[in-house]
Amino acid sequence: RPLSDRSKGPRIVCATLPGETHYLGLQMAATVLSLAGCRVIYLGSDTPVEDVVDAAHAHQTSAVCISISIAANRFMASRDLSLLRERLNPSVALVTGGLGAPEGLPGVELVPGLDALLEWGQNLIAHSNAARK
């Protein structure tokens, strides 16, 4: 479901991982990315890894944003993020944030807060615009 139809920015899939039912952080992240000018495809909470991969492919996204709450199982979150990174096209950025987000996973960028996410989204747009020229 596109959250920001009018935007011309890069597409970003936003979701939480399987078993993650806390979605307020995800909603805030999706709103921030939309305000930055990105086109958000909001999948919501408790999303199977394959659904995230399928949506990223179907919408030709530039990135996938995963919100992870402090209540999440860190082992499972690390496993699912690694699986996502493995199955996504290497050109698709994988970003995560939230108090339960694991650190140091190869190919997964940890964004420490909403201000940083806004800056990340703006940088993605600038990079996307530069690539089009």
Region 29-44: what's the mean pLDDT?
95
Give the pLDDT confidence score for residue 4 in this predicted structure. 58
Give the pLDDT confidence score for residue 130 in this predicted structure. 79
Whether residue 54 contacts residue 89, with contact meaning beta carbons closer than 8 Å, is answered with no
Provide the whole-model pTM: 0.93
Q: Which two tokens stand for residue 111?
A: 């964004």
CA distance 89 to 87: 7
CA distance 93 to 78: 16
The amino acid at 105: L
Q: Which two tokens stand for residue 57?
A: 């492919």
CA distance 93 to 61: 9
Question: Which residue is it, tokens 């078993």?
Answer: 19
Residue scoring higher pLDDT (129 or 59): 59
Task: Judge whether residue 88 has pLDDT over 80.
Answer: yes
Task: Supply the mean pLDDT for the chain.
Answer: 94
